[in-house]
Amino acid sequence: MVVIGGRNSANTKRLAELCKERGTATYHIETPAELKSEWFSGAKKVGVTAGASTPDWLIEGVLTRMSEFTEEKVTEITEEQEQEVKDEVTEAEEQEDVVTAVSADNLAEEEETEEVAAEDGDAADEAVAEEAEDAVEEVEETAEEEAEDAVEQGEETAEEEAEDAVEEVEEAAVEEEEAVAEGLSEAQMSEYDVKMPTVGAVVKGRIVQISSDEVLVDIDYKSEGRVPFNELTFLPNADPKELVSEGEEIMVKVLKVDDAEGNVLLSKRRADADLAWERLEKLNAAGETLEAKILQTVKGGLLVNVGVRGFIPASHVSRGFEEDLEQYVGQSLELKIIELDRSKNNVVFSHKEVLEERYQKAKEEAFETLEVGTKVPGIVRRITDFGAFVDIGSGVEGLLHVSEMAYSRVNHPSDVVSEDEEITVMVLGVDKERERISLGLKQTMPDPWTKVADNYHVGDKVTGEVTRVVDFGAFVKLEDGVEGLVHISELAHRHVAKAEDVVTSGEEIEVKVISVDADARRIGLSIKELEPKPAPRPAPKAKQQPQTVEGTDTDELTTNIGDVFGDLFKEDNEE
C-alpha cells in the first residue's frame, strides 16, 4: 500500500496505521520523488490511498511515477534476455572457429600421412573428413540448442512486452530529444515536480477559498498558502469578497514557509506593492501617465490605489480651485507622478498637470482651426455680471458677453444661462495674440427683426411689458428680441416731468405703434395716442393793475441837511 499525504496529517497517519495492522507492506509518502522501485519488486498488486486534503494533482503524480517503474522493469528484463542470447551466439561462433582450426590441423597431418603411407591415403582422407564434419556438426548443434534454450526461457508474453517496452523507450527517447532541441529543461518537463516556495519570492496562485479573515491560495505546493486579511489589502474595513473571487489568479509574496506542518504564509498586498513600485519607477522615468481610482478624501487631498497608497494634493486635482473633493471619490483619473520615493513609501500624483497639458494642446489646436461664424458646442463654466465663460473643448474657454446672449435686453447673464448648462454658441472673434475668443448665443437663434415689418404696422394697438424706464421715456417689450420706445412726450397729453410718474418697470401696458424702422431696429410707441385729448382750457383773464398817479403836492421840502446833522456839528464846536 502507498499512502499519500502529509506526515503530520492525523487522517493520513491513521490510514497508514490501518494498512500496517492488516499485515500489508505500507509506505507513507508526501511527494512522487519519495517512491522507490525496490518497493514494487515481486509485488503482484499495489494499492494507493490518500488523505481527504491531499490534492488530486499529487495523487496523479504518484500514479504516473509508479507506471514509469513498471516500464523501466520490463525494459530491463528485455535487455538482459537479449544480452544472454547475444552471449550464447558469440560462444557458439567461437566454438565453430575452434572446430575449424582443429580441422585444419587434421588436414595438415593428413598431408603428412599421405607422404608416409600412400596406400592408405584414400581411407585416411575419408576418415579424417568424416571426423571433422562430425565435430563441426556437433558443435553447431550444441550452440543452436543452447541458443534456443536461452530464448525459450522467456515466455511469449515477455517477448511481446519487451517489444512494446522497447518501442515506448524509443518513442520516449525521441520525445526527449525534441524537448531538448526546444530548449526545455528537465525541471520544465516534470509536470509533478513539487518545489518548496522561496521566502521573498513573488509567485502566481489561484484562490480556492475566501473567509472573513483569510484567503486560501493554491500555489502548486503540497498545501494551500494562507493570506491573512491584513496582508490582502492596505484598505481598512474592506470586504475580502469584494476584492477577490474564488478561481481568480493573483500574485502573492511568500512571507514564511513552515516546513514542519506545510503551512505557507502569503501576502497579496506586498506582492502588489513590489509590482507597483517597479511599474511606477518605469512610468516616472518615461514621463508617462496612468489611470487610478479615487478611494477617499483626506485632509489636504485625495487617496488613490495603484498597488500602493498614492496621494493627490487638493491643489493638483484640477486646473482651478475645488471646494468639494467628495465628488471625485469613486472616479478614475489620469494621473502624472510628481514625486516618487520608494524608501519612504511615498508617491504623489497630479491630475492638474495632465489637464494643463491637454489644455495647451487644445488651445493651440483651437486657435489654429477655429473660424469666425462657426457654431460649436460648449458648457457654461462661470457666470459674471458682464457675461459667461463657456468651455468649448478641453478647457479652452471663450467669453459670451451679456449683449450677445439675446436680442432683447438682458438684466443679468444668469437670466439666460446657468452653470454647467450645455449650449451651442457661434464664434464671433479669435484673437491669437491676446488669446481671446468671443462667442455669441443670439446669433444661433432666428433674428426676430426680420419679421417686424410684417408683424407691426403704424396704427396697430399692441400690448407689451415695460422693461426699463429712462429719463427720456420707457422701453416696452413686444416679443422676445423686439422692443419699442415710448418717448416721454408720448406718455401723456399733459406735461410729464419724469417717466416714472406714468409707468413703472414690469408693468404691462397697451400702446399704439406710431413708427416702424426695421433696418434701424426701432419702433416708436405712444400711450397718449390711445387716450382722448382733453378739452382746450380757456385762456386766463389778465388782472387789472392799480394806476399810480404822481402827486401834485407843491409843498416844498422843509427838511435840510442841517436839520439832520446839525447836532453833530454843534457837539464838535463845543469841544
Please tell me whether residues 66 and 152 are part of one structural domain.
yes
Residue 260 confidence (pLDDT) = 57
The answer to whether 88 touches 143, Cβ cutoff 8 Å, is yes
CATH at residue 523 = 2.40.50.140
- Percent residues over pLDDT 90 in the chain: 32
Buried b (16+ CB within 10 A) or exposed e, 329-364: eeeebebbbeebeeeeeebbbbbbbbbeebbeebbe
Q: Which long-range contacts (CB under 8 A, 24 or more apart) does 169-173 make?
A: 169/71, 169/75
**Those residues with Cβ within 8 angstroms of residue 466's Cβ, 6 or more apart along the chain or in another chain:** 474, 475, 476, 477, 503, 504, 505, 506, 507, 508, 509
What does the pLDDT read at residue 194?
Answer: 54
pLDDT exceeds 60 at position 170 = no
**pLDDT of 132 over the 80 cut:** no
- For the cut 80, the answer to whether the pLDDT of residue 107 exceeds it is no
In a domain, 306, yes or no: yes
Query: Is position 574 within any domain?
Result: no
* Residue 31: predicted pLDDT: 85
Query: Does residue 386 share a domain with residue 302?
Result: no
354-389 residue pLDDT tens? 999 988 888 888 888 888 999 999 999 999 999 999
Indicate whether 138 and 68 sit together in one domain.
yes
Among 332, 347, 362, the domain-final residue is 347
pLDDT higher than 50, residue 110: no
pLDDT at 424: 95
**Judgement on whether residues 461 and 478 belong to the same structural domain of the protein:** yes
Residue 212 in any domain: the answer is: yes
b/e map 511-541, b = 16+ CB within 10 Å: bbbbebebeeeebbbbbbeeeeeeeeeeeee
Cα dihedral across residues 375, 376, 377, 383: positive or negative: negative
Average pLDDT of the residues in 334-345: 92
In this structure, the answer to whether residues 147 and 76 fall within a common structural domain is: yes
Residue numbers of the domain that contains 211: 202-272
The answer to whether residue 352 sits within a structural domain is: no
Q: What is the pLDDT of residues 508-530, one digit of tens each?
A: 999 999 999 988 889 999 999 89
- Tell whether 459 and 483 lie within a shared domain: yes
- Residue 297 reports pLDDT greater than 50: yes
Q: Residue 62: what pLDDT?
A: 84
Query: Looking at the domain assignment, is residue 126 inside a domain?
Result: yes
Among 1-10, 112-121, 195-204, 538-547, which is the least confidently predicted range?
112-121
Q: What is the pLDDT of residues 479-489, one digit of tens each?
A: 888 999 999 99
Asked whether residue 166 is assigned to any structural domain, the reply reads no
Structure confidence by residue, pLDDT tens digits, 76-92: 544 555 555 456 546 65
Distance, CA of 243 to CA of 249 (rounded, Å) = 12
Can you spell out the DSSP letters for 406-437?
-SS--S-GGGT--TT-EEEEEEEEEETTTTEE
Same domain, 59 and 140: yes
Share of the chain above pLDDT 70, in %: 70
* Residue 184 lies inside a defined structural domain of this protein: no
Reference 413, options 434, 441, 391, 432; nearest CA is 441
Looking at 98, 123, 156, the residue that finishes a domain is 156
Number of domains in the chain: 5
Contact 458, 516 (CB under 8 A): yes
Work out the pLDDT band at 329, boundaries 50, 70, 90. very high
With a cut of 90, say whether residue 75 has pLDDT above it: no
If pLDDT is split at 50, 70 and 90, which confidence band does 390 have? Answer: very high
pTM (2 d.p.)? 0.44
Give the cell for residue 563.
436839520
**Region 426-433 average pLDDT:** 91
Both 309 and 382 in a single domain? no
**pLDDT, the chain, mean:** 77
Average pLDDT over residues 201-211: 90
Kindly tell me the burial class for residue 568, based on how many C-beta atoms sit within 10 Å of its own C-beta (0-12, 13-18, 19 or more).
Answer: exposed
- pLDDT confidence of 65, banded at 50, 70, 90? confident
Give the CA distances from residue 285 to residues 195, 339, 368, in Å, rounded to whole numbers and listed in that order: 37, 12, 32
* pLDDT beyond 60 at 448: yes
Position 575 scores a pLDDT of 47
- CA-nearest of 369, 407, 386, 392 to 439 is 392
For residue 220, what pLDDT is reported?
A: 83
Question: Closest Cα partner for 333 from 360, 300, 306?
Answer: 306
Average pLDDT over residues 65-72: 71
Domain end, chosen from 418, 444, 470, is at: 444
Residue 59 sits in the same domain as residue 152: yes
Average pLDDT value for residue range 100-114: 46
Q: Are residues 61 and 103 in the same domain?
A: yes
pLDDT score of 457:
92
In the chain, count of helices (H) and strands (E)?
10, 23
Same domain, 486 and 519: yes
Q: Both 74 and 113 in a single domain?
A: yes
- Residue 43: which residues within 8 A CB-CB, separation 6 or more? none
Return d(Cα 96, Cα 78) in angstroms, integer: 27
Report whether 404 contacts 440 (CB < 8 A).
yes
Q: How does DSSP assign 347-400, residue by residue?
A: EEEESHHHHHHHHHHHHHHHHHH--TT-EEEEEEEEEETTEEEEE-STT-EEEE
Q: Confirm whether 382 is domain-assigned.
A: yes
| 5-14, 324-333, 495-504: segment of lowest average pLDDT | 5-14
Q: Cα separations (Å) of 524 from 455, 488, 508, 516?
A: 14, 11, 17, 6
- For residue 465, what pLDDT is reported? 92
